[in-house]
Structure 1
Amino acid sequence: MSTVRSLASLLERSAREFPENIAVTVPGGRSVTYSELCELSDRVRDRLVHMGVRRGDRVGLRLHKSIEAVATIFGALKAGAAYVPVDAESPAARAAYILNDCDVKVVVTERELESELVQALGDTRPMLVLDATASRPMEELLEQLQRSEPAAPVESIATGADDIAYILYTSGSTGNPKGVVLSHGNALSFIDWCSETFAPRADDRFSSHAPFHFDLSILDIYVSLKHGATLVLIGEALGKEPLKLAAAIAAERISVWYSTPSILSLLANYGKLAKHDFAALRMVFFAGEVFPIPQYRALQAIWTRPRYFNLYGPTETNVCTWYEVTSDAPLDRMSTFPIGKICPPNLGRVVNEQGEIVSIGEPGELLVAGPNVMRGYWNLPDHNERAFFKDEAGALWYRTGDIVCEEPEVGYRYVGRRDRMVKRRGYRVELGEIEAALLRHPDVREGAVVAIPNPEEGVRILAFVACQDGTTLTRIALKAYSAQALPPYMIPDIFAVVPALPRTSTDKIDYQRLKSGG
């Protein structure tokens, strides 16, 4: 394991060892070397400290993905602060709620986002406002500020493993997002595991497809920069255009790709991958949702060279289990990929509703303990109490809320969400099991199942299906297929065939919109 105990040290060390390597690049745009990125983040640090940022403070980022955003992240870390990224595309009111909730000291944003954010925040806290149309937005802003109000150079703050590194906000059951607090030690445990397991190289080129407010970005940014590799920033627009995205992956010679399965399915279906040379691609990671086996087959038939890994873990643990899809994997006998074995040095256990460990092969909730597990939710003591299980020895285990089965050969197999288990006609029904059955249909590209309250049966089950390109399915055909694949009490009441499923800003299925009819 690494002896480095702060995320900023990863960049500083690579700047010493690989000063002229390209650290971050934008397809069709500019690039910065490690020495340039380290110097720019130093200047951001100096300005943040001048603005009053101190160890333990929070710095908010409402920025589109850019070199400036990466420099701001490291500038905040060097100032001893935690960074709080919010979605630049989300409503200003939601961004303001997050930034107010964790009481950020300074906000870094863009000119086009400034006015609505100031209005939503309702105060006049300090801001760094970039002109995103400038050729070098951060440098130009800092030079301008330096002329009018010089910021003295300062030393980076020596943060430790227990200091907060970042707070990622996820959807909350109360209707407001909740902040997941991760320390430097939490992140470094995961980064060290990635280093030992996947052996990244300085000549690797990592994709940065996930937005910075999504936990997939932790692997992208820090594993890449730890090893002197290049981080290729995939912007929000490019990331959702399969033809342009496929061309960019090939042109940028990306060697390590990481995204949700929905993006890989989009590439396989609509990216015309056979037109391009992907010889550089050597590892493909996917996480965040189930990867339908037919979609994986379609992708792997074209991308034959890379190794494929299913990474699993809620934001609260980052990745905590992993499974490699080997060339001899029995795909014909799989309904879904296993989520695999626990990532050491973390520990996992599967328990029933009473907290008792279940037998191998029995379903139960996955609990995780170890250095990957979050410090807790920001300012939500009641949530923290419910989120952890204390075992007989007094150790705390995070309740993932995910139902799994443990199998001797492959480790854990995901069954579904605890909060997606519903009661119907006296039976317990896992909505994820219905989804898995629908996804086995060869003409189904993606599917989602939701339940809405119903006085007569407890719930009514609605299934939304998007078909493979060039195919169509009727509701009658889906009903007939479900009757062959599922017991009667699990067959959805209503089927809807849609062009595509709604997605959140992190490319996951937006179940709330489906439940509300959107």
Structure 2
Amino acid sequence: MNIVDGVKKYAKTDRLAVIEREDILSYKDLDKFSDIIANYIIRNSKTVNPVAIYANKDIMILPVMIGALKSGRAYVPMDVSFPQQRVDDVVEAVCPDMVFDFTDGEYFFNKENREDKKENYKNVQIISRQDLCEIVEENKNTELAKEVPNDQWVKGDENSYILFTSGSTGKPKGVQISTYNLNSFIEWMSPILGIDGSEKVVMDQPAYSFDLSVSQLYPGIANGATLYSLSKKVVADFNLMFEEMKKSNMDVWVSTPTFIGMCLSDDSFTEELLPNLRKLLFIGEVLPVETARKLRERFPKAEVINGYGPTEATVGISHVIISDEHINSGQSLPVGVPMPNSKIKIVDEQGKEVPKGEKGEIIIIGPSVSKGYYKNEAKNLEAFYVEEIDPWTEIDAEYKKELDKRSDEDKEFDNLRYRAYRTGDLGSILEDGNIKYSGRKDFQIKLNGYRIEIEDIENNLRKVTNVKNAVVLPVYKNEKIAFLKAIVELKKSNDLGNLKNGIKIKKELSNFMPEYMIPRSVAIIDSMPTNTNGKIDRKKLKEEYL
């Protein structure tokens, strides 16, 4: 189902689309406001370039997103935590006619006088939250309030949004995700999360500039759920955050493992706090076994779902419901089986598919794969290609029947099923069909002649008795890796210093891995810093501890 169709369907009800503390937005108003915004964009834009949004959480962000889609334009979310250079790079790349600024500051201006824009924003219309509210309020009964015809909307393989991720060159890469990509994702993810058109409340915590947010945003809105937003300000205050969670009565949780790990450190984070919670989805980071174990204990009625997928394949491509058998296997948790209309294959360094159980690079093929990076042909040639051999020759008969039932419009894009993406992730396919994730190719290092996977060490460190979380960083000398350093967060603080804790941790770690893989030094910290995406901030750790 197209996201805009979903908005229109539930605009005929009295359901709420978004709750953000005391602010609420109904589906009816979401549809009405987004029409006004779409018509305003069409009337005041010189191009059909993407619309940029600079924000964190606010009930009026969604009308801008849907308004952009109704106007036939993609939107580009930028979080308020983005450094100045990142914002400038993104705006330079997409050349928007408009930037919707939801901050209280004057980022895009030189002085207090709002007419004095920074040089690189001279030709961009900056629309503040106040400006936006005035545009909506003043045009409720004007021509701008007219319904935007669906032939104007973003459709097919046109871009719905562009998410910018870090690039090896220092410039961010814009991942293009189309309506076609999103429809495939929504159809797959909605039943996994139990979002089926009935009234459900879905936690809306990840920043919209982070691909994980799509997991709750699009299945939620397409199926009439209520997004319960938790802003950066709320998340920064544990008491306030838990108060909001209690009020939410949420059914569905979507976050990184790091974020829920922080919540689990509080003993009150249990089923009593969230009695309706039935689904917990984690994508974007490795889900530690211990985190899954605690969740199964504290939320026995809820499914813990581990998933995998890069931004370039519309967030998620595989999932598995974690069982006690997974938790007690002594192995890291699998990341699931691929969605039915997609294929994952594992290849060696020559690009040849390896036998089941062997490790190699993960390749994703299917309708969720992006058309590529925005205006970046060089990177596209490296990462994307079109599969020449039909990867669905062994597709099951039941799924073939489903494919045949589709509309001619859907079948029109069948050739896009062959798009493939080289993830740069390492993994293998287990005997039961589950994918085992084994870290990044670029997290592979060589130390003293040994090939070492950083994430292998981190996973084993988490098995050590009093270790809650760990990051391993290579330390360079004369442009070569001299040794490894572990940054460790303990489950329970103790009176031992860095040195004694380090000796104790390394001794136990030696039970799990060879001597050459054990970090030379260990630093104990109170808690892992996180970035705006809720992931561990490795860059900050490097700056502080190397």
TM-score using structure 2 length: 0.87
Offset at 1:275?
Answer: 8.8
Q: Report whether the alignment pairs 1:515 with 2:542.
A: yes
Cα RMSD of the aligned pairs, angstroms, is 2.4
Paired with 2:248 and 2:223, the residues of 1 have a C-alpha distance of 18
> 1:496 pairs with 517, 523, 530, which one?
523
> 1:366 pairs with 362, 365, 371, which one?
362
Is the CA contact (8 Å cut-off) linking 1:294 and 1:442 kept in structure 2? Answer: no
Give the equivalent residue in structure 2 for 1:140: 134
1:425–1:367 Cα change, 3 Å: same
Give the equivalent residue in structure 1 for 2:183: 188
Paired with 2:210 and 2:261, the residues of 1 have a C-alpha distance of 19
Deviation string 1:219-246 (CA, Å, 9 cap, x unpaired) is: 2111111111111111112234444323
1:190–1:472 Cα change, 3 Å: farther
Q: Secondary structure at the match of 1:270?
A: coil
> 2:36 pairs with 40, 43, 66, which one?
43
Deviation string 1:363-394 (CA, Å, 9 cap, x unpaired) is: 11110011101110111111000002555539
Offset at 1:181?
Answer: 0.7
Aligned residue identity for 1:130: R
Number of aligned pairs? 503
Paired with 2:379 and 2:229, the residues of 1 have a C-alpha distance of 34
Paired with 2:446 and 2:106, the residues of 1 have a C-alpha distance of 47
Superposition map of 1:397-412 within 5 A = 397-409=420-432, 411-412=434-435
Is the CA contact (8 Å cut-off) linking 1:242 and 1:271 kept in structure 2? Answer: no
1:51–1:471 Cα change, 3 Å: farther
Paired with 2:148 and 2:386, the residues of 1 have a C-alpha distance of 41
1:357–1:22 Cα change, 3 Å: same
1:145–1:454 Cα change, 3 Å: same
1:230–1:122 Cα change, 3 Å: closer
Aligned residue identity for 1:194: M
Offset at 1:168?
Answer: 0.3
Aligned residue identity for 2:346: V
Offset at 1:150?
Answer: 7.7
Give the equivalent residue in structure 1 for 2:311: 315
Paired with 1:98 and 1:353, the residues of 2 have a C-alpha distance of 33
Give the equivalent residue in structure 2 for 1:428: 451
Q: Report whether the alignment pairs 1:384 with 2:377.
A: no
Offset at 1:501?
Answer: 2.1
1:151–1:229 Cα change, 3 Å: closer
Aligned residue identity for 1:119: K
> 2:153 pairs with 140, 150, 158, which one?
158
Question: Which consecutive residues of structure 1, in runs of 5 or more, have no partner in the other structure?
Answer: 132-136
Q: Secondary structure at the match of 2:420?
A: strand
Offset at 1:292?
Answer: 1.7
Offset at 1:14?
Answer: 2.3
Is the CA contact (8 Å cut-off) linking 1:7 and 1:77 kept in structure 2? Answer: no
> 2:268 pairs with 253, 269, 272, which one?
272
1:408–1:277 Cα change, 3 Å: same
Paired with 1:284 and 1:152, the residues of 2 have a C-alpha distance of 39
Superposition map of 1:225-374 within 5 A = 225-270=221-266, 272-274=268-270, 276-317=272-313, 318-326=315-323, 328-374=324-370
1:12–1:146 Cα change, 3 Å: closer
Superposition map of 1:160-179 within 5 A = 160-179=155-174
Is the CA contact (8 Å cut-off) linking 1:443 and 1:467 kept in structure 2? Answer: yes
1:275–1:21 Cα change, 3 Å: closer
Offset at 1:69?
Answer: 0.5
Q: Secondary structure at the match of 2:325?
A: coil
Paired with 1:263 and 1:370, the residues of 2 have a C-alpha distance of 30
Is the CA contact (8 Å cut-off) linking 2:193 and 2:252 kept in structure 1? Answer: no
Greater alpha carbon shift after TM alignment, 253-262 vs 219-228: 219-228
Paired with 1:61 and 1:86, the residues of 2 have a C-alpha distance of 6
Paired with 2:124 and 2:327, the residues of 1 have a C-alpha distance of 55
Greater alpha carbon shift after TM alignment, 479-488 vs 253-262: 479-488
> 1:417 pairs with 437, 440, 452, which one?
440
Give the equivalent residue in structure 1 for 2:487: 464
Deviation string 1:423-477 (CA, Å, 9 cap, x unpaired) is: 1121110000000000112311111112233459744212111111444661111
Give the equivalent residue in structure 2 for 1:114: 106
Aligned residue identity for 1:109: D
1:208–1:121 Cα change, 3 Å: farther
Give the equivalent residue in structure 1 for 2:24: 31
